[in-house]
């Protein structure tokens, strides 16, 4: 069996729609400038439209235009706002495919490094077992909310960004970057379930979060072990984890800002083995993208232009029909 699988080779059945990862990568590198953001999204408009066509995200594109992700990602999920169910389902589906990729990441770590210590392999096997259970839990929660597998496109961005060919970097990316993001997202989902009184969702996500803390701990311990006696190596691994964390902040949507859509789960992360110093660094690097004001303004312009384009197209075809 092949080692070091490329993200394009991840196997899915016919229910899944694969999305280009470019959009997620672009989100991580946006500057704090309205015009640049608007131009970037307009440039990708056709690709974004193509990637949501025929999926449950198509109405979001129709309502908000190519910058719909800016609105969806940067507004906290609130049961009282319009399209809240679609947005909740979009996030739940994103978590579901994230669990599949976490399963693939852990299972690949077990397979890709045959010379790694036995205890490392046992930890990765344990994690793969947990992630398989999480995939099932989130599939059930998706159904519980009225959604289904494949209703939104899947981006394999998480797997692509977190999987390095070097074992210390692999666990830094998957077990500290990806699993750390999972802690933030799950704490936020628990708060949402408490707000809506959804006891089933609250309890299920709480159980999953307990596992994720263990997975982050595997990462913290194995990075230490793989880089012991080599401070240079440890520094490079930490730099890699910081790059992954920057990408997983989606331009500040996951950050320590007061109005962040996904706040950093500070207490959970401390329990999982992150240090105060690492968390302060994460808060700083995740908040360094465009301000919320910039993103809201860019999203507004993109939406206006999109609706004007649609109206012009509709008028054009109406006058064609008349002549
Ligand atoms: Fe998981
Ligand atoms: Fe996990």
Mean pLDDT over 161-178 rounds to: 92
First and final C-alpha spacing in the chain: 63
Contact (Cβ atoms closer than 8 angstroms) between residue 55 and residue 81: no
Q: For residue 82, what pLDDT is reported?
A: 64
Going from the Cα of 211 to the center of ligand 2, the distance in angstroms, rounded, reads 6
* Band of residue 80 on the pLDDT scale cut at 50, 70, 90: confident
Angle at 68 between CA 8 and CA 84, to 5 degrees: 105
Nearest alpha-carbon partner for 158 in 247, 92, 53 = 247
Name the closest ligand to CA 208: 1
Query: Across all residues in the chain, what is the average pLDDT?
Result: 91
User: Any idea where the domains of the chain sit in the sequence?
Assistant: 7-322
Q: For residue 79, what pLDDT is reported?
A: 81
Q: Which CATH architecture has domain 7-322?
A: Up-down Bundle (1.20)
| Sequence-ordered list of residues with C-beta below 8 angstroms from that of 259, at least 6 positions apart, any chain | 76, 292
Q: Which residue has the higher pLDDT, 18 or 225?
A: 225
With 0-12 CB in 10 A as exposed, 13-18 as middle and 19+ as buried, what is 18?
Answer: middle
Going from the Cα of 34 to the center of ligand 1, the distance in angstroms, rounded, reads 35
Going from the Cα of 135 to the center of ligand 1, the distance in angstroms, rounded, reads 7
Q: For residue 158, what pLDDT is reported?
A: 87
Mean pLDDT over 198-216 rounds to: 97
Name the closest ligand to CA 106: 2
Size of the chain in residues? 323
Going from the Cα of 87 to the center of ligand 1, the distance in angstroms, rounded, reads 21
pLDDT for 258-284, tens place per residue? 878 899 999 999 999 999 999 999 999
Going from the Cα of 104 to the center of ligand 2, the distance in angstroms, rounded, reads 11
pLDDT for 121-156, tens place per residue? 999 999 999 999 999 999 999 999 999 999 999 989
With 0-12 CB in 10 A as exposed, 13-18 as middle and 19+ as buried, what is 265?
Answer: buried
- Cα(183)–Cα(134) distance, rounded to whole angstroms? 13
Whether the per-residue pLDDT at 21 is higher than 90: the answer is no
Going from the Cα of 193 to the center of ligand 2, the distance in angstroms, rounded, reads 20
Q: For residue 264, what pLDDT is reported?
A: 96
Going from the Cα of 13 to the center of ligand 2, the distance in angstroms, rounded, reads 22
Q: For residue 3, what is the DSSP state?
A: S
Q: Which residues lie at CB < 5 A from ion ligand 1?
A: 99, 102, 131, 134
Q: Which residue has the higher pLDDT, 225 or 79?
A: 225
Name the closest ligand to CA 178: 2
* Band of residue 14 on the pLDDT scale cut at 50, 70, 90: very high
Mean pLDDT over 93-117 rounds to: 95
Percent of the chain past pLDDT 90, that is, above it, reads 66
- Cα(110)–Cα(288) distance, rounded to whole angstroms? 35
Percent of the chain past pLDDT 70, that is, above it, reads 99
pLDDT for 33-46, tens place per residue? 999 999 999 998 99
Q: Which residues lie at CB < 5 A from ion ligand 2?
A: 102, 179, 212, 215
Going from the Cα of 42 to the center of ligand 2, the distance in angstroms, rounded, reads 35
Q: For residue 1, what pLDDT is reported?
A: 87
Nearest alpha-carbon partner for 263 in 186, 201, 177 = 186
Whether the per-residue pLDDT at 201 is higher than 70: the answer is yes
Q: List helix spans (H) across the chain.
A: 22-28, 34-43, 45-52, 58-64, 68-74, 84-112, 118-144, 157-162, 167-171, 179-196, 199-226, 231-247, 266-271, 276-286, 292-322
Q: For residue 323, what pLDDT is reported?
A: 64
């Amino acid at each position: 069996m092949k080692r070091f699988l490329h993200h394009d080779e991840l196997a899915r059945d016919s229910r899944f729609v694969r999305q280009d990862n470019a959009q997620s990568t672009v989100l991580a590198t946006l500057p704090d400038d309205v015009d640049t953001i608007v131009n970037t999204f307009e440039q990708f408009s056709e690709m974004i439209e193509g990637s949501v066509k025929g999926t449950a995200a198509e109405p979001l594109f129709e309502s908000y235009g190519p910058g719909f992700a800016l609105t969806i990602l940067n507004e906290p999920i609130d049961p009282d706002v319009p399209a809240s169910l679609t947005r909740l389902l979009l996030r739940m589906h994103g978590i579901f495919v994230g669990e599949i990729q976490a399963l693939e990441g852990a299972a690949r770590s077990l397979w890709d490094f045959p010379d790694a210590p036995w205890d490392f392999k046992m930890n990765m096997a344990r994690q793969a077992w947990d992630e398989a259970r999480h995939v099932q839990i989130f599939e059930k929660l998706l159904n519980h909310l009225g959604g289904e597998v494949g209703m939104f496109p899947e981006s394999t961005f998480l797997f692509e960004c977190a999987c390095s060919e070097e074992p210390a970097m692999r666990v830094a990316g998957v077990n500290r970057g990806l699993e750390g993001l999972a802690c933030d997202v799950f704490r936020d989902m628990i708060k949402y379930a408490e707000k809506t009184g959804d006891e089933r969702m609250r309890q299920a996500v709480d159980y999953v979060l307990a596992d994720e803390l263990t997975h982050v701990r595997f990462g913290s311990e194995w990075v230490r072990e793989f880089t012991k006696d080599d401070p240079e190596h440890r520094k490079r691994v930490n730099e890699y984890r910081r790059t992954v964390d920057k990408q997983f902040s989606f331009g500040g949507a996951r950050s320590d800002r007061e109005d962040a859509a996904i706040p950093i789960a500070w207490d959970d992360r401390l329990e999982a083995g992150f240090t105060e110093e690492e968390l302060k660094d994460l808060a700083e690097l995740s908040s360094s993208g465009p301000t919320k004001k910039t993103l809201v303004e860019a999203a507004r312009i993109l939406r206006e232009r999109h609706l004007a384009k649609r109206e012009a197209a509709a008028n054009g075809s109406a006058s064609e029909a008349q002549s």
